[in-house]
C-alpha cells in the first residue's frame, strides 16, 4: 500500500507541468491559433520564476512574474499570428528557439555560471492532516505542492468559462466558424488575444513549478519536452479541459514509472525514453483520429 501511495503521489507531482502545458494548448487552439510555443513559454517561466525569487527574495514573487511574463509572451504570440499574420507554426518554433537561447545567456549574465543557477527560495510542499492518512486518496493530500491544487482549480475554471459562459460559447464557435462569428458582430481577434494571454500565463505558471516548487534552481532546458507532452495531451484529450487533464495524468504515469523500473537488465537509457515513447505512441494512435477545431490556423481580417 505504501508503494502505491508513493507512486500516486509522484504521479500527481509529475502531472502538474504537463496538465498546465496541455491547458495552454487547449485554450489557444480551441480558438483557432496553433500553439507550438508551449515549451518555450514554460522554459522562460521557469527561468523568470528563479530570477524573480533571487532578486525579490520571494518564491511567490517569482511565480507571479512568471505568470505576468507568460501572459506578455502570449500577447506577443498573438500579435505575430493575428496582426502580422505570420505562419503560426513557425512563430511557435521561433519562441522555443528564442527561449532556449535567451535563458542560457541570462543565466550566464546573472549568475556567471553555465548549466544551472544558484539555489533560491522555493515554494514548499504541504501536508493536510487527517486527510493525508486516508487510504489511496491520501496521496493527494500528503507532501504535495500547492501548484497541484491550483492546477485543479485552473482546470475547473477553464471548464466553467468554456461551457457555462457566453464568452466560452462564442470562443468555441470562433475555433470552428470564425467568419460566421465575426459576421454576427463578435470581435474575433479580441477574444483570441485574451485567450492567448491566458494560455501564456498558464504555461508560465507551469514553468515556474519546475524551478521553484519541484526544484529550487534553474537548469538549462529543464522543461525537457514537457511542453510537447502537454500538446500531445491536448490532442489526446480532444481539445477539452477535462480531457487534457486526464491525458496529462496518463503521461505522468509513464514518467513516474521510470523511477520504479530498476531492473538491471533494462538499460537506463530506455527507461528514460519511456515518457517520450508513450507520447509518440499516443500521437500515432490518436493523432489521425483526433478532430480538432475546424478553423485551427485560419485567420480573419
Cell 548549466 belongs to which residue? 115
DSSP string for 181-229: HHHTT--HHHHHHHHHHHHHHHHHHHHHHHHHTS-SS-BTTTTTTHHHH
Cell 496582426 belongs to which residue? 83
pLDDT of 257 reads: 85
pLDDT of 166 reads: 96
Percent of the chain with pLDDT over 70: 97
pLDDT of 264 reads: 55
Q: Domain map of the chain by residue range?
A: 2-117+148-286
What is the four-CA torsion angle of 295, 164, 158, 241, rounded to 10 degrees? Answer: -60
Q: Which three cell numbers stand for residue 134?
A: 486516508
Q: What is the pLDDT of residues 232-284, one digit of tens each?
A: 999 999 999 999 999 999 999 988 888 777 655 677 777 788 888 888 888 78
The Cα–Cα gap between 11 and 121 comes to 24
* Residue whose C-alpha is closest to residue 46's, from 197, 228, 212: 212
Q: State the pTM of this model.
A: 0.95
Q: Which three cell numbers stand for residue 296?
A: 485551427
Cell 454576427 belongs to which residue? 184
Q: What is the pLDDT of residues 97-132, one digit of tens each?
A: 999 999 999 999 999 998 999 999 999 999 988 888
* Residue whose C-alpha is closest to residue 37's, from 28, 50, 46: 28
Percent of the chain with pLDDT over 90: 78
**Homologous superfamily of the 2-117+148-286 domain (CATH):** ABC transporter involved in vitamin B12 uptake, BtuC (1.10.3470.10)
Q: Which residues of the chain have pLDDT under 50?
A: none
Amino acid at each position: 500500500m505504501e508503494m502505491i501511495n508513493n507512486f500516486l503521489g509522484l504521479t500527481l507531482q509529475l502531472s502538474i507541468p504537463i496538465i498546465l502545458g496541455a491547458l495552454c494548448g487547449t485554450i489557444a487552439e480551441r480558438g483557432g491559433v496553433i500553439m507550438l510555443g508551449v515549451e518555450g513559454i514554460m522554459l522562460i517561466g521557469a527561468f523568470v520564476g528563479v530570477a524573480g525569487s533571487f532578486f525579490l527574495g520571494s518564491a511567490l514573487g517569482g511565480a507571479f512574474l512568471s505568470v505576468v511574463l507568460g501572459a506578455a509572451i502570449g500577447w506577443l504570440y498573438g500579435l505575430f499570428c493575428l496582426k502580422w499574420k505570420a505562419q503560426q507554426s513557425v512563430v511557435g518554433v521561433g519562441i522555443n528557439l528564442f527561449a532556449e537561447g535567451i535563458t542560457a545567456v541570462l543565466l550566464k549574465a546573472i549568475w556567471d555560471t553555465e548549466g544551472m543557477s544558484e539555489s533560491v527560495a522555493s515554494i514548499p510542499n504541504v501536508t493536510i492532516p487527517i486527510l493525508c492518512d486516508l487510504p489511496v486518496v491520501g496521496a493527494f493530500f500528503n507532501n504535495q505542492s500547492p501548484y497541484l491544487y491550483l492546477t485543479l482549480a485552473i482546470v475547473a475554471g477553464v471548464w466553467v468559462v468554456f461551457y457555462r459562459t457566453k464568452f466560452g460559447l462564442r470562443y468555441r464557435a470562433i475555433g470552428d466558424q470564425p467568419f460566421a462569428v465575426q459576421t454576427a458582430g463578435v470581435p474575433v481577434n479580441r477574444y483570441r488575444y485574451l485567450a492567448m494571454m491566458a494560455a501564456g500565463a498558464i504555461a508560465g505558471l507551469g514553468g515556474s513549478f519546475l524551478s521553484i516548487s519541484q526544484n529550487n534552481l534553474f537548469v538549462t532546458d529543464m522543461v525537457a519536452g514537457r511542453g510537447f507532452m502537454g500538446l500531445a495531451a491536448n490532442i489526446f484529450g480532444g481539445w477539452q479541459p477535462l480531457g487534457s487533464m486526464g491525458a496529462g495524468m496518463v503521461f505522468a504515469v509513464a514518467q513516474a514509472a521510470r523511477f520504479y523500473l530498476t531492473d538491471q537488465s533494462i538499460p537506463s537509457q530506455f527507461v528514460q525514453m519511456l515518457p517520450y515513447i508513450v507520447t509518440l505512441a499516443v500521437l500515432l494512435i490518436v493523432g489521425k483520429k483526433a478532430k480538432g477545431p475546424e478553423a485551427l490556423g485560419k485567420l480573419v481580417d
